[in-house]
Amino acid sequence: MSSNQEIYKKKDCRLCRSQDLELILPLTPTPPGDLYLKPQDKEKNTICYPIDLCICRECGYVHLRDTLSASQIYPDYLYETTSSSGLTEHFTHYAKEVYHKLAPLQGGLVIDIGSNDGTLLKAFKTLGFSSLGIDPAYNATLKAQEHGIETIVDFFNQGTANRIANTHGKAKIITANNVFANIDDMDEFVNAAKSILSNDGVFIIEFAYLGDLIKYKIFDYIYHEHLSYFSIATLEKFFLKHELRLLHLSHTESKGGSFRAYFSGINNDHIQAESLEQERVKEQALQLENKQTYTQLDQFVLSNAKEVRNIIRSHKKNGGRCIGYGASVTSTTLLYHFGIGDQLDYLVDDNPAKIGTVSPGFHLPVHSSDKLNTDKPDLCIMLAWRYAKKIYMKNISSDTRFLVPMPTVEWL
């Protein structure tokens, strides 16, 4: 399949180091899901790697056992925060929530790990903070720096933290949004963050919640970048090991359902929210450590996949042309697991960075969504199904029929 430098299989749990791991959700292997390439480079992204979900029987941690090297995922990373619907507004609200909840002094340093194009840090700067971003994706960080957001182009580790300590001192707030689940060595990551966090500082992570993934059938949020699928229980266990206690949880609609978790040192004066116990009780009812929970999700998704394949087959039998709306990493998981990637003519998307590229593996050309009105394909599969209604309203004048594949198969 590949060299050991490209992929390796975890033999033990990242959280508790147990080797008692069990496969709970087998998914169709895919190439690195967000590596949309120029047509002349398409052969660089054809190898498929497993994205099977496992659970640790010892501590309940849900994760990918197979881990790709970061250099395979991030070198020409095209994702930008502003390309995702609603995220700019989301991060503006995020900064205001942190400001009012923690009431820190203006001018304190905020460090955002995985800062991308600097959208969150721009919101913090508006509130009077100084800011520093860290991100390995060169193209995205260029945009951040164009907007005056100082950014270190690198992966975050203890070496990076030491550089920051020497040049910027310690931070009142450290954020890591939709990035902590991507970290292989979480112990090093948290230790590095603690080393540049002030004694009264708060470490905030936002993560796609495993409970929402199960509840809302968001199976396509499983891909190579996302190594971890956190419950509240497993996350609390891990951070307590590093002498950081959970202060507060804010549920958000981001990424189909996420939590923003606030952590601080176990000996400081921050007060834990009373609502934490309610969230713990609600989680227990979801049975996230029960293999049957994932078996039911698997059966549900495969049933939808069969129905969508039959609809596409019927359209193509009658001479119809079928396309997909959405050129994202989640689209790759859906295309492969539904078995429809070789049935579509092309993809459309609203992200300028994706237009003119080809999709991972299937090499489907990515066009602007304007092509819907000029080309008039017969059927469009809403690969970006969480934004289906918004997309439909934008393209309601099109002659194309729109099919939503998840969470239920329906026509718009």
- Do both 251 and 295 map to the same domain? no
Is 303 domain-assigned?
A: yes
Higher-confidence residue of 408 and 100: namely 408
Tell me, yes or no, whether 2 lies in a domain.
no
Residue 23 located in a structural domain: yes
pLDDT digits (tens, 9 = 90+) for 14-32: 899 999 999 999 999 999 9
Predicted TM-score (pTM) of this structure: 0.90
Please report whether residue 305 resides in a domain.
yes
- pLDDT band for position 50 (50/70/90)? very high
C-alpha span between 8 and 28 (Å, rounded): 17
Q: Is residue 194 domain-shared with residue 95, that is, in the same domain?
A: yes
Check whether 221 has a pLDDT greater than 70.
yes
Check whether 360 has a pLDDT greater than 60.
yes
CB 383 within 8 A of CB 369: no
Question: For residue 61, what are the contacts with CB-CB under 8 A and spacing of at least 6?
Answer: 13, 14, 15, 16, 55, 228, 234
Q: Is residue 1 part of a domain?
A: no
Choosing from 31, 48, 73, the residue where a domain stops is: 73
Q: CATH number, domain at 407? A: 3.40.50.720
Amino acid letter, 57: R
pLDDT at 106 over 70: no
Number of domains into which the chain is organized: 3
The per-residue pLDDT for range 174-210, each reduced to its tens digit, is 999 999 999 999 999 999 999 999 999 999 999 999 9
| Residue-range definition of the domain harbouring residue 39 | 7-73
Residues 367, 392: one domain?
Answer: yes
Secondary element (H or E) of residue 54? strand 53-56
Q: Are residues 204 and 108 in the same domain?
A: yes
Res 162: pLDDT: 97
Mean pLDDT (whole number) for 59-76: 80
Q: Which of 250, 285, 320 is the last residue of a domain?
A: 285
Final residue in a domain of this structure, among 224, 250, 285: 285
Q: Is residue 204 part of a domain?
A: yes
Q: What percent of the chain is helix, strand and coil (3-state, nearest 5)? A: 40, 25, 40
Q: Is residue 265 part of a domain?
A: yes
| Average pLDDT value over all residues in the chain | 91
Q: Is the pLDDT of residue 382 over 60?
A: yes
Give bridge partners of residue 358 from the DSSP assignment. Answer: 37, 365
Residue 221, exposed/middle/buried by CB under 10 A (0-12, 13-18, 19+)? buried
Q: Are 33 and 64 in contact (CB under 8 A)?
A: no
Indicate whether 125 and 186 sit together in one domain.
yes
392 and 257 part of one domain = no
117-147 confidence digits (pLDDT tens): 899 999 999 999 999 999 987 777 788 888 8
Amino acid in the structure at residue 60 = G
Domain assignment present for residue 92? The answer is yes
Q: What is the structure's pLDDT at 4? A: 41
Residue 168 DSSP SS3: helix
